[in-house]
Amino acid sequence: MFRPYTRTQVGIALLLALLLLVVGRLFWVQGLDPGGRAEAAAGERTMVEPIPAVRGEITDTQGTVLARTLQRYDITVDQTAVTEVTVPGKDGSSQTVTPTQAVYKIADALGMKDADVKKALDGGKTFTYVARGVTPEQYNALRELNLPYIYGQPTFQRSYPDGSLAGSVVGFLGGDAEALGGIEQTQDELLRGTDGERRFEISGDGVRIPVAPQEQKAARDGSDVKLSLDSDVQFFAEQAVRERAKQLKAEWGTAVVMDVKTGKVLALADTSSVDPNVPGRAKAEDTSVRSVTQAVEPGSTEKIATAAGVLDRGIVAPDTQITVPPYLQIGSEKITDAFDHGAQNRTVAGIVGDSMNTGTVIMGSKMDKEARHENLERFGVGKPTGIELPGESTGILTPAAQWDARQEYTVLFGQGVSQTPLRTATIFQAVANKGQRIEPRVVESVTDPDGTVTTPQPPQPERVISEAAAQQTLDVMENVVTQGGAKEAAVPGYRVGGKTGTAEAPSENGGYDGFTTSFVGVAPMEDPQYLVAVTMQRPKGDVHTVGVTSTFSTIMSQVLHHYNVAPSTTQGPKYEMQVPQNLKKDVTPTNALEQTWPEPGRDESQG
Amino acid sequence: MSSAANTPSPAADDHGTRKPLSVVPRRAPRRSRLSTVVMCALALAAALVGILLLNIQITQGQYQLTELTGQERALSQENEALTQDIEADSAPQNLAARANDLGMVPAKEVGSIDLGSGAVTPPSAPAEKTESQNILVPPAEMKGSDAAEANRRAAEERAEKRAKEEADKKTAQREAEQKADEARDLNGGSLPAPSQRAPGN
């Protein structure tokens, strides 16, 4: 029997049905979400903030920061949203800001020109940079304007407190944090680290919802790189080489300071160098380390390699006497010296001491062509050192078979061969390190973000000449300073040895225009610890006055005092430079290469 | 209802002999329905207030967190800026330039003292006052540091001063030459006598 529902029942049923409808709709919208609304809402709430990895620091050997990373902000604008807006003030009131007013306010906050800000705000793009790398203070000032169309993205800026001091060694970053030079470039992988990200939900007023889920992928910061460079040494090397280059109006100049026993580079000075804070302003040639990227003819400094070669092969001893004619005539080739002289009876020490090409060729030619090539090769000529800097030049050492009639002799005194000033320095390093060459390195250690310090595997020492020959070569080098042509290289209180070099600089249009002068030396001679190599390209003036011997002395003196090296208490051996009474009268320019001398005794080889 | 169970029932002895009539004891006051509702409402309100307080607490905490994070950021930024200033001031070229300004000169003859004999080698002498060194390594163009800015300005001022001094020196030299020219005996004429060419020139 049909019993009509009471009004209450109908009402409840109706309500239930409505409730079902609402629940169904809720399930539809929230549960099934066919329109992606919930997801969109979650997306709206969810903020993904990148956590940029902090790029590692570059420090010198004493921990002085050469490159550090600072918090900065990139300011961007949504140009389509630039309209008159009402913004809340600090005191809760609100005010209207027109785009023109906004331009002035932004320009004030960022310290920019009004016109530049206006240009950035005008247009139809949703994303444009207004300014990049603004400081936190500027960003905070900007944020107080509360302009809804201006955004700030956290970013990092590299800061180089020492500026152009060692600028080309430290290197620099391009506009998009792309490493473009120096250590920044070669150690980029270690310095860069890995970015992380943070996801969280925010409420309408921008405050984070505390109970909402959040995910965080931590960034792995970059490692710190410590260089063997000493910024104090770097400074006085740069100052000294710049002073000399200014006097001589040279095209460029370099100075290398090395630790003889480890091959660690303490300074790589350039006469002009990029300021990594503003790399855009630097000239292209100032962005690289010239002593690494520029190959030049070494000139007479190479005589040390030749002397070491003949001493090592037992061909001569430092006091072996050789009669040197005024010039050499080898076939059609004439080889002369930088000064005029008659026939002289010189010792090996005297030949190197006064930098005689003729005498060097006479003793050097006792090595056959292959041996001459091998000698230079063992000193590393023609090969890169592998230093951690970009763009290293290998220089040119032509195979012995391809040497022409002149070149086979000129390589003995550093012509017809090219190498970087750093490579020239390593020849002296090998001699001073008891005959063992250690390739130069400038990265001392790497510190992970977790504090683990790793030291790169140092290059294996390679024996170039015997210890005895190395000592003899050092004695010859010391004579260059005490009795030879480089007395200005002396450092009061210390025994110093080295060799000058003058080569002709090849012109871009063929031929030669100007000189490359250099001096490479080590100290203290009783136990060589430090090496300084100064090179000057195309100095203006007379060839006899454009040397860098005094610059060497200035730098070496500073280095020895800086590292508290005890003054020398011993005297070096003094060799006769000339022994006129033993002059061989029958030696002529044409037969000089055929002269013989007694083989040096075994006892003499002890030096 | 628990309150009813405690109340003695008036109909307990219905089936026994009838007791003489007596005054019905006053019904124990039953808790009114109203008080229950009030209690419930109070509990609810307490809970709500509790939740509210908790919420406020959390929100407060959140704001405090944001504020403290901001404070931390501000401090670390200040720290960063100060570090930058220190580094700018301690860059070797800036130190050297300031030492120059103070009238310091590089030591020329540095001697070492032998602690055993007391001898100084090499013989040393006090540094002599020389012209101030021209520092050729420019200060860093570091952004966002007042100290770096100050160092740059100081370097510019020094360069200007140096240029001015050099110009002054040149002017003085020229004047001196002029004076020497004027002082030359022209034998009453206005032109100097032609000088003879020296041999070899």
| Domain of A351, in residue numbers | 231-275+291-442+462-593
Identify whether residues A414 and A307 lie together within a single domain: yes
Could A210 and B58 be called an inter-chain contact, meaning their C-beta atoms sit closer than 8 Å? Answer: yes
Identify whether residues A97 and A176 lie together within a single domain: no
In whole angstroms, give the CA distance from residue B158 to residue A425.
Answer: 36
In whole angstroms, give the CA distance from residue A352 to residue A318.
Answer: 10
DSSP string, A261-315: TT-BEEEEEESS---TTSGGGS-GGGGS-HHHH--B--GGGGHHHHHHHHHHTTS
- A343 within some domain: yes
Q: Nearest chain A residue to B115 by CA: give it.
A: A566
CB-based contact, A280 to chain B, within 8 Å: no
Chain B residues in contact with A211 by the CB 8 A cut-off are: 58
Chain A residues in contact with B113 by the CB 8 A cut-off are: none
- A478 within some domain: yes
Nearest to A201 by CA among A51, A52, A48: A48
- A213 within some domain: yes
> Shortest Cα distance from A165 to chain B (angstroms)?
7
Identify whether residues A474 and A388 lie together within a single domain: yes
- Joined together, the tokens standing for residue B70 give 């901001």
- A607 within some domain: no
As for the ipTM of the complex, it is: 0.78
CB-based contact, A125 to chain B, within 8 Å: no
Residue with the bigger pLDDT between B22 and A500: it is A500
Nearest to A461 by CA among A451, A453, A470: A470
Identify whether residues A336 and A311 lie together within a single domain: yes
Q: Helix or strand or coil: residue A499? A: strand
Is the predicted pLDDT of residue B201 greater than 80, yes or no? no
Q: Mean pLDDT over all residues of chain A? A: 89
Look up the pTM and report it.
Answer: 0.80
- A32 within some domain: no
User: DSSP letter at A31?
Assistant: I
> Shortest Cα distance from B195 to chain A (angstroms)?
29
Could A164 and B110 be called an inter-chain contact, meaning their C-beta atoms sit closer than 8 Å? Answer: no
Could B87 and A68 be called an inter-chain contact, meaning their C-beta atoms sit closer than 8 Å? Answer: yes
The per-residue pLDDT for A134 is 85
For chains A and B, count residue pairs whose Cβ atoms are closer than 8 Å.
112
CB-based contact, A566 to chain B, within 8 Å: yes
Q: Helix or strand or coil: residue A12? A: helix
- A546 within some domain: yes
Which one of A157, A175, A191 terminates a domain? A157
Q: Nearest chain A residue to B111 by CA: give it.
A: A493
- Joined together, the tokens standing for residue B132 give 């101030």
For the purposes of burial, counting CB atoms within 10 Å of the CB of B63, is it exposed (0-12), middle (13-18) or buried (19 or more)?
Answer: exposed
Identify whether residues A55 and A76 lie together within a single domain: no
Task: Round to the nearest angstrom and report the end-to-end CA distance of chain B.
Answer: 138
- Joined together, the tokens standing for residue A5 give 């529902």
- Joined together, the tokens standing for residue A560 give 């020895």
Q: Nearest chain B residue to A163 by CA: give it.
A: B140
Task: Round to the nearest angstrom and report the end-to-end CA distance of chain A.
Answer: 135
- Residues of chain A under the 70 pLDDT cut: 1-2, 89-92, 204-208, 210, 601-607
The per-residue pLDDT for A604 is 45
Identify whether residues A170 and A202 lie together within a single domain: yes
In whole angstroms, give the CA distance from residue A277 to residue A173.
Answer: 9
Contacts of A246 (CB under 8 A, 6+ apart): B136
> Shortest Cα distance from A468 to chain B (angstroms)?
30
Could B96 and A239 be called an inter-chain contact, meaning their C-beta atoms sit closer than 8 Å? Answer: yes
Which of A210, A239, A492 lies nearest to residue B122, judging by beta carbons? A492
Which one of A98, A131, A157 terminates a domain? A157
Q: Helix or strand or coil: residue A540? A: coil
**Confidence band of B4 (pLDDT split at 50, 70, 90):** very low
Q: Nearest chain B residue to A495 by CA: give it.
A: B122
Q: Residues of A389-421 as b/e, b for ≥16 C-beta within 10 angstroms? A: bbebbebebbebeebeebbbbbbbbbbbbbbbb
Identify whether residues A126 and A267 lie together within a single domain: no
Could A135 and B142 be called an inter-chain contact, meaning their C-beta atoms sit closer than 8 Å? Answer: no
Give the CA angle between residues A448, A453, A458 to the nearest 5°: 120
**Confidence band of B1 (pLDDT split at 50, 70, 90):** very low
Q: Residues of A464-485 as b/e, b for ≥16 C-beta within 10 angstroms? A: bbbebbbbbbbbbbbbbbbbbb
- Joined together, the tokens standing for residue A396 give 């040119």
Could B88 and A161 be called an inter-chain contact, meaning their C-beta atoms sit closer than 8 Å? Answer: yes
Chain A residues in contact with B96 by the CB 8 A cut-off are: 235, 239
CB-based contact, B64 to chain A, within 8 Å: no
Identify whether residues A237 and A205 lie together within a single domain: no
- Joined together, the tokens standing for residue A192 give 């860069």
Report whether A199 contacts A217 (CB < 8 A). no
- A119 within some domain: yes
CATH number for the domain harbouring residue A169: 3.90.1310.10
For the purposes of burial, counting CB atoms within 10 Å of the CB of A329, is it exposed (0-12), middle (13-18) or buried (19 or more)?
Answer: middle
Chain A residues in contact with B148 by the CB 8 A cut-off are: 161
Helix, strand, coil % in chain A, rounded to nearest 5: 35, 25, 40
Q: Helix or strand or coil: residue A134? A: strand
The model's pLDDT over B167-193, given as tens digits with 9 standing for 90+, comes to 999 999 998 888 887 776 666 666 666
The model's pLDDT over B70-109, given as tens digits with 9 standing for 90+, comes to 888 788 888 888 888 999 999 999 999 999 889 888 877 7
What does the H/E/C string look like for chain B?
CHHHHCCCCCCCCCCCCCCCCCCCCCCCCCCCHHHHHHHHHHHHHHHHHHHHHHHHHHHHHHHHHHHHHHHHHHHHHHHHHHHHHHHHHHCHHHHHHHHHHCCCCCCCCCCEECCCCCCEECCCCCCCCCCCCCCCCCCCCCCCCHHHHHHHHHHHHHHHHHHHHHHHHHHHHHHHHHHHHHHCCCCCCCCCCCCCCCCCC
In whole angstroms, give the CA distance from residue A467 to residue A605.
Answer: 10
Which residue in B143, B145, B166 has the most chain A C-beta atoms within 10 A of its own C-beta, making it the best mutation to test that interface?
B143
Report whether B189 contacts B183 (CB < 8 A). no
Chain B residues in contact with A70 by the CB 8 A cut-off are: 80, 84, 144
Identify whether residues A325 and A188 lie together within a single domain: no
Could B142 and A207 be called an inter-chain contact, meaning their C-beta atoms sit closer than 8 Å? Answer: no
User: DSSP letter at A449?
Assistant: T
Q: Nearest chain A residue to B62 by CA: give it.
A: A210
CB-based contact, A232 to chain B, within 8 Å: yes
Identify whether residues A260 and A324 lie together within a single domain: yes
Which one of A119, A140, A157 terminates a domain? A157
- Cis? peptide before A524, omega within 30° of 0: yes
> Shortest Cα distance from B75 to chain A (angstroms)?
11
DSSP string, A402-413: G--TTHHHHGGG
Residue with the bigger pLDDT between A55 and B8: it is A55
- A1 within some domain: no
Which of A71, A136, A277 lies nearest to residue B143, judging by beta carbons? A277
Which residue in B85, B136, B149 has the most chain A C-beta atoms within 10 A of its own C-beta, making it the best mutation to test that interface?
B136
Could A137 and B61 be called an inter-chain contact, meaning their C-beta atoms sit closer than 8 Å? Answer: no
Amino acid, res. A228: S
- Joined together, the tokens standing for residue B16 give 């026994």
How far is C-alpha A60 from the geometric centre of its chain's CA atoms? 12
Could B77 and A71 be called an inter-chain contact, meaning their C-beta atoms sit closer than 8 Å? Answer: yes
Q: Nearest chain A residue to B87 by CA: give it.
A: A161
Nearest to A593 by CA among A417, A405, A361: A361
Among B residues 116-135, those touching chain A with beta carbons less than 8 Å apart: 121-122, 133-135
Is the predicted pLDDT of residue B126 greater than 90, yes or no? no
User: What is the bridge-based pairing of β-strands A224-227 and A58-59?
Assistant: parallel
DSSP string, A188-235: HHHHH-B-EEEEEEB-TTSPBPTTS--EEE--BPPPEEEES--HHHHH
Chain B residues in contact with A232 by the CB 8 A cut-off are: 92
In whole angstroms, give the CA distance from residue B58 to residue B42.
Answer: 24
Number of compact structural domains in chain A:
3
Nearest to A535 by CA among A353, A351, A301: A301
> Shortest Cα distance from A134 to chain B (angstroms)?
8
Could B110 and A557 be called an inter-chain contact, meaning their C-beta atoms sit closer than 8 Å? Answer: yes
- Joined together, the tokens standing for residue B114 give 């032998």
Identify whether residues A254 and A167 lie together within a single domain: no
The per-residue pLDDT for B2 is 44
Chain A residues in contact with B80 by the CB 8 A cut-off are: 70-71, 136
In whole angstroms, give the CA distance from residue A122 to residue A81.
Answer: 10
Identify whether residues A552 and A567 lie together within a single domain: yes
The per-residue pLDDT for B5 is 46
